[in-house]
Structure 1
Amino acid sequence: MILIIILRPEDARHWCVRDTAGWTDVHTVRRYARGHWTQVLAELAPDLEPALDRLGRHVPCPVHGGRDGFRLFRDVRETGGGVCNTCGAFSDGFALLMWMNGWRFVDALRAVAATLPLSTGDGGSSLPISKPARTSSSAWRRAEIEKVWAESMDPRHSSAAPLRRYLAGRSLNHEGLAIRKLRFHPGLPYWHNGRRTGSYPAMIAPVTSPKGELITLHRTYLTEDGRKAAVAAPRKLMAYPEDLRLAGSAIRLEKAGAALGITEGIETALAVMLMTGEPAWAATSAGMLERFEPPTDVIALTIWADRDRSGTGERSARILADRMSAHGLTAEVRLPEMAIPKGASGVDWFDVLRAERRCVGHASL
């Protein structure tokens, strides 16, 4: 069988697939998949099984782990869509499969078409399109991670001004603050629902395993003037190779000693280091926090938890503390004492730092 992929110049959004049996296109595949996306996803993305069993309800994210970071939409049978708390929403099954399996759009199109009895539209028989090899996704993801890292630069580089402005605007650019583990990318593509919507400067942070192995990269999309980019999900983890485990990993902002602090977010960890002078790492989310694994030479762990209206931050911190105590480590949970402002979902230790700075500023007037 010979497979030809053609992008019609008169309509750049209209993908067509041809083999010896005839033609099919994305609109044909969408039409046949509608009402059958649960079967398609079950075959092409087996890790979605927990979400398929609990449609519309939160389950552990198939990419990032945790406890409740992902759900499929209630109309998933019709659309194939879902949402990740870290990466944002995927409006249809094509976008979801691209995210899950590290596929290009044409790979997802071919794979979905191969699961459906498609009519060719010209009287021909169903179109036997071969599926892309899912085993290649780990290599593809690893290559993408290495590419982004190679393109990034030291925060002190002359071109990294947007990152320095971002940190300065958040009072996190003090002399001696450990930001050397962070990197800057001058123009990182942003993808939403399987489509590239632009390129932005970005803060890049390596996420490493308990053994120090690079798992993936955390991206914070920025503007040139040092604000968070106005995109659906300005903070995202890159999809990591399937042969690696994200559980237990963290962003190591400073070398750990016998004592270590752990937070959810990067900015929170930087704030904790400014306030305490002690090393702190970022777990990237509440779900990742409760699964964190400190290095073997750490004997005292301080968990700088977020205070959320939902209680998620504290609950995850307590789970981690109990697990660490069961393994003989000293574990202490610290929660911000400040009240949650009206209209906010919670506060963290970065908010505490900013409040203290405002008080000092007012007192000096």
Structure 2
Amino acid sequence: MIDWKDYSIGGHRITCPACGRGGIDRTMGLTMNAAGSGVCHCFRCDFTESYRPEGSARLAVPPKPFVEAMPSPKSARLSAYGYKLWQACEPLADIALDYLTARRCRVPPANGDLRWHASLKHPSGYAGPCLVALITHAVTSEPLSLHRTWIRGDGRKADVEPPRLLLRGHRKQGGVIRLWPTESATAGLGITEGIETALSLAWAYEPVWACIDAGNLAALPVLPGVQSLVIGADNDPAGIAAAYTCARRWSDANVEVHVTRQPANDLNDVLMEAA
């Protein structure tokens, strides 16, 4: 099901041929080695296929059958483990600053909810530098979860799959990452989906918060005291729809709203290409 000859040596993220939803849906990790053989695995449905160049031998493992089950309950607030990890993180420094600088991001203030850990373990077994962000409820500010991004000092993500993870068993719905503290949002606020995108918008407008994904951005409630909202929209169907859903709600509440548009996927892509 995979046209292996289309891929060069190294790691790739592709659309799963079994459960792929098209567009930028890239849930499958594919790796080609120097000998020309390869393996791929979907992180959503577990479809697996391997390839060897001699005789084009393949072994395909079908995805797991769908079994409807009751969803597992998620913690309504940050767990004791989450608090312990958050307290073990430090203010941005060293490789964390190198990463943000290489990504052309503005460094947020020290009292924002972005820190770093010098050697955080990934589920794959890898341990290395990681940006750690506290997710808090947009209205109540109650801690909900943590967002982790394993990084390199050259501005790239660490070579792990996936390089970004939320805490397992924690909710993120209704949450935001307050890159600037709540008290700084006295009149205006900038919002985006991702952290790097928000820190790109911050060059032109602050304070900024990251909403984690399109669903959270679309559902962001109108916050008291905010008179102007700037939305850094991702230039994909989900991002655009989320931005305008949010914009309409805030505009109906008599808030001044601006939505950015750019040819690339997000504002950070624009800055990286310009550099």
State the TM-score, normalizing by the size of structure 1: 0.52
* Alignment partner, residue 31 of structure 1: none
Q: Are 1:205 and 2:137 counterparts?
A: no
- The counterpart of 1:266, out of the listed 195, 202, 210, is 195
Q: Are 1:354 and 2:272 counterparts?
A: yes
Q: Are 1:319 and 2:256 counterparts?
A: no
Contact 1:290–1:317 (CA under 8 A) maintained in structure 2: yes
SS at match of 1:281: strand
* Alignment partner, residue 110 of structure 1: none
- The counterpart of 2:172, out of the listed 236, 241, 246, is 246
Show structure 2 runs of 5+ residues with no match.
1-17, 28-40, 47-62, 65-70
Contact 1:217–1:238 (CA under 8 A) maintained in structure 2: yes
In structure 2, how many angstroms separate the alpha carbons of the residues matched to 1:271 and 1:249?
Answer: 20
For residues 212 and 352 of structure 1, do their structure 2 counterparts lie closer, same or farther at Cα, with a shift above 3 Å needed?
A: same
In structure 1, how many angstroms separate the alpha carbons of the residues matched to 2:225 and 2:260?
Answer: 21
SS at match of 2:209: strand
For residues 225 and 352 of structure 1, do their structure 2 counterparts lie closer, same or farther at Cα, with a shift above 3 Å needed?
A: closer
In structure 1, how many angstroms separate the alpha carbons of the residues matched to 2:229 and 2:271?
Answer: 20
CA deviation string 1:147-173 (max 9, x = no partner) = 2112111114xxxx2211111211225
For residues 332 and 225 of structure 1, do their structure 2 counterparts lie closer, same or farther at Cα, with a shift above 3 Å needed?
A: closer
* Alignment partner, residue 164 of structure 1: 97
- The counterpart of 2:109, out of the listed 153, 174, 178, is 178
Amino acid at match of 1:248: G
In structure 2, how many angstroms separate the alpha carbons of the residues matched to 1:141 and 1:283?
Answer: 17
In structure 1, how many angstroms separate the alpha carbons of the residues matched to 2:83 and 2:249?
Answer: 33
- Percent of residue pairs bearing the same amino acid type: 33
In structure 2, how many angstroms separate the alpha carbons of the residues matched to 1:57 and 1:173?
Answer: 35
Contact 2:77–2:142 (CA under 8 A) maintained in structure 1: no
Contact 2:91–2:110 (CA under 8 A) maintained in structure 1: no
Amino acid at match of 1:286: A
In structure 2, how many angstroms separate the alpha carbons of the residues matched to 1:215 and 1:265?
Answer: 17
Contact 1:185–1:201 (CA under 8 A) maintained in structure 2: yes
In structure 1, how many angstroms separate the alpha carbons of the residues matched to 2:86 and 2:192?
Answer: 23
CA deviation string 1:73-97 (max 9, x = no partner) = xxxxxxxxx97xxxx547398xxxx
- The counterpart of 2:259, out of the listed 326, 333, 338, is 333
Contact 1:162–1:226 (CA under 8 A) maintained in structure 2: no
Amino acid at match of 2:163: P
Q: Are 1:214 and 2:143 counterparts?
A: yes
In structure 2, how many angstroms separate the alpha carbons of the residues matched to 1:163 and 1:293?
Answer: 31
Contact 2:222–2:253 (CA under 8 A) maintained in structure 1: no
Matches within 5 A, 1:1-365: 88-89=43-44, 91=46, 101=72, 138=75, 142-156=79-93, 161-172=94-105, 177-178=108-109, 180-181=111-112, 182-191=114-123, 196-209=124-137, 210-223=139-152, 227-241=156-170, 246-254=172-180, 255-276=184-205, 278-308=206-236, 311-336=237-262, 338=263, 340=264, 347-356=265-274, 358=275
For residues 320 and 240 of structure 1, do their structure 2 counterparts lie closer, same or farther at Cα, with a shift above 3 Å needed?
A: farther
Amino acid at match of 1:166: Y
For residues 299 and 275 of structure 1, do their structure 2 counterparts lie closer, same or farther at Cα, with a shift above 3 Å needed?
A: closer
For residues 169 and 57 of structure 1, do their structure 2 counterparts lie closer, same or farther at Cα, with a shift above 3 Å needed?
A: closer
Note the C-alpha offset of 1:257. Answer: 2.2
Contact 1:141–1:240 (CA under 8 A) maintained in structure 2: no
Note the C-alpha offset of 1:228. Answer: 0.9
Aligned residues: 216
In structure 2, how many angstroms separate the alpha carbons of the residues matched to 1:145 and 1:350?
Answer: 28
For residues 331 and 248 of structure 1, do their structure 2 counterparts lie closer, same or farther at Cα, with a shift above 3 Å needed?
A: farther
In structure 1, how many angstroms separate the alpha carbons of the residues matched to 2:76 and 2:273?
Answer: 45
In structure 1, how many angstroms separate the alpha carbons of the residues matched to 2:161 and 2:142?
Answer: 30
In structure 2, how many angstroms separate the alpha carbons of the residues matched to 1:221 and 1:215?
Answer: 20
Is the helix fraction higher in 1 or 2? Answer: 1
Amino acid at match of 1:354: M
In structure 2, how many angstroms separate the alpha carbons of the residues matched to 1:273 and 1:299?
Answer: 18
CA deviation string 1:29-78 (max 9, x = no partner) = xxxxxxxxxxxxxxxxxxxxxxxxxx9587xxxxxxxxxx9x9xxxxxxx
- Rg bigger for which structure? 1
Show structure 1 runs of 5+ residues with no match.
1-54, 59-68, 72-81, 94-99, 102-133, 341-346, 359-365
SS at match of 2:122: strand
